Amino acid sequence: MTAKEAEAILGVEVEEVVAPETDEALADLVKNLAKEQRRFVVAGSGTKLRWGDLPKAPSVTVVQTTGLDQITDHDPANLTVSVQSGVRYAALQRALGEHGQWLPLDSPWGGDATLGGIVAAAACGPRRYGYGAPRDLVLGVRLVLPDGSQVHFGGKTVKNVAGYDVTKLLVGSYGTLGLLTEVTFRLRPLPQEERSLVLTFATPDSLDVAVEAVLRSPDPVVAVEALGTRATGLLRSEGAPVPDGAYLLALRLEGTRPVLQAAVDRLASDLGPEAVGGKAAVLESSDSAAFWNKIERLFYSGWQQAKAVLKLRGPVRNAVGVLAALEPVEAGLAWVGAGTGVGYLKIDSPEVDLVSLFREVRSVLGPLRARVDLLAADPAAKRELSQAGIPLWSVSDTLLARMRDVKKIFDPGNLLAPGRFVGGI
């Protein structure tokens, strides 16, 4: 990443981009930056640098972790792995796959994403329903604090819970508390096979009934994605095996062949009669993987070019209601994890009045207790919202006050990623 490329994303002057190759070099760099009172932002491969607010500083240094790219420890017997923060997601999964294991996290934003960036952004895809979010899989971390000191929290075994709360605190902190240098994860054996069921429904009510049935099911469903009408139409137009119907429900199942066959038969029998056409489309292993790859390509890739991406978070019981409420918002593609309550609204058109749209979305989703955050956007869009007095995150005053207290403990000089996180933290 060049300084000019970073400037285009961050919207402020970037003095330099530095990529240390050892923990010690990174700590020395940060120590020198702190002595000179220079603000700095941490980045991995840059896939999520567009996330978060603009830095509240006239200029910053970008500290890139891609030089820290080693798998430092892998304990197959205990299903744990420790990696430096610059290790790429795809490289780690390839290495673990040789031992029949994997890190059960989706990275729909691409295999070049670094593990440090995934943890810092708490980023995960559709399989969060089955395997949990990053905070559920991180056992320990090593990091450099904004003054250059090196510390660690947590451990390298599942039973060791020392510093557990602090470890979780760092997940999703957007790099505002420290620079991750190493992360220890719990792993899982690779699933033997996968299957998918794809169904469409004419109305939100019929979709909601199907979702409730899935969430009550004991079957090995690892992803439950519901798509609004425009997202469903796009997926169909791109050649995905999507039956006729307005709203789509996609289920991904993983496990052994006998278990999957029984689960697919049961779910198809229970859900199919209520779907458009009276049945579910069943996708076998390779077709199933191709289907989810298409979802990643159509809905998650291209966020660097989108006008904006809004993150939607609400009660699981209201997930389908969120999709229905967004139908009048014609400017974007909406989809939601019906088992997690986490969804997105992707806005591609540069002509959209983002201020009006943001207010409209928050207004229609408020009664459903759904929070709306600006996840990704270009600098101009962020300034537009800021000038209109619209906060990018939905957060209570009480929680924001606590978060500011934590920031002061870790970064009293406000040197690290100033203003990038909730409430200008």
For the domain that residue 12 is a member of, what is the CATH number? 3.30.465.10
pLDDT, averaged in runs of 10, over the chain (425 residues): 93 95 95 96 93 94 96 96 97 97 92 95 94 94 94 68 69 94 96 96 95 94 96 93 92 95 94 88 94 93 87 95 91 93 93 92 94 93 93 92 93 95 91
**pLDDT score of 157:** 52
Residues 27, 148 within the same domain: yes
Residues 114, 98 within the same domain: yes
Residues 152, 65 within the same domain: yes
Residues 15, 162 within the same domain: yes
For the domain that residue 260 is a member of, what is the CATH number? 3.30.70.2190
3 state SS for 257-315: HHHHHHHHHHHHHHHHHHCHHHCCEEECHHHHHHHHHHHHHHHHCCCCCCCEEEEEECC
Which of 299, 330, 356 is the last residue in one of the domains?
A: 299
For the domain that residue 346 is a member of, what is the CATH number? 3.30.70.100
Residues 167, 212 within the same domain: no
**pLDDT score of 53:** 94
The domain of 211 spans 193-299
Which of 268, 299, 330 is the last residue in one of the domains?
A: 299
Residues 179, 271 within the same domain: no
Number of C-beta neighbours around residue 155 at 10 A: 17
Which of 273, 299, 325 is the last residue in one of the domains?
A: 299
Domains of the chain: total: 3
- Give the separation between CA 411 and CA 425, rounded to whole angstroms: 10
- Give the separation between CA 177 and CA 406, rounded to whole angstroms: 8
Closest among 140, 149, 99, 144 to 119, alpha carbons compared = 140
Residues 424, 277 within the same domain: no
**pLDDT score of 329:** 85
Residues 26, 129 within the same domain: yes
**pLDDT score of 164:** 42
Residues 59, 179 within the same domain: yes
Residues 380, 407 within the same domain: no
**pLDDT score of 322:** 95
Which pTM value belongs to this model?
0.92
Residues 67, 143 within the same domain: yes
Residue found under tokens 């792995």: 81
Residues 36, 92 within the same domain: yes
Residue 134 is inside which H or E element, if any?
helix 134-137
